[in-house]
């Protein structure tokens, strides 16, 4: 089921690519056919810095179950960190 729904947001952080670390500016999230993961569909996340071109991109393909668990673990970590999490 390809929804063609794509969510994009600005992010602030760093990613490590083939040429080392670079600043991240965007994350793009979509549910579609993976390029590499052994599933029919995956939740795909591309972390990128568009101004630096395609070499400044980190991509992940997660099963739906893994993606949901990751969201839960991210929320749990932020809650556990308390008000100090920025």
Half-sphere exposure of 41 (CA within 13 A, CB side): 10
The model's pTM: 0.86
Read out DSSP for 33-52?
--SSSSSSSEEEEEEE-GGG
pLDDT in the model for residue 86: 63
How far apart are alpha carbons 52 and 84 in whole angstroms? 31
How far apart are alpha carbons 85 and 4 in whole angstroms? 33
| Domain boundaries along the sequence of the chain | 6-81
Residues of the chain with pLDDT under 50: none
How far apart are alpha carbons 67 and 33 in whole angstroms? 15
pLDDT in the model for residue 18: 87
- Residues 37-50 pLDDT 10s: 999 999 999 999 99
């Amino acid at each position: 089921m390809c929804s063609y729904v794509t969510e994009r947001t600005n992010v602030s952080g760093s990613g490590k690519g083939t040429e080392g670390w670079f600043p991240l500016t965007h994350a793009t999230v979509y549910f579609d056919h993976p390029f590499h993961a052994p599933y029919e569909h995956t939740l795909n996340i591309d972390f990128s810095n568009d101004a630096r071109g395609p070499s400044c991109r980190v991509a992940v393909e997660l099963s739906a179950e893994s993606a949901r668990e990751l969201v839960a673990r991210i929320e749990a970590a932020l809650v556990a960190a308390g008000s100090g999490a920025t």
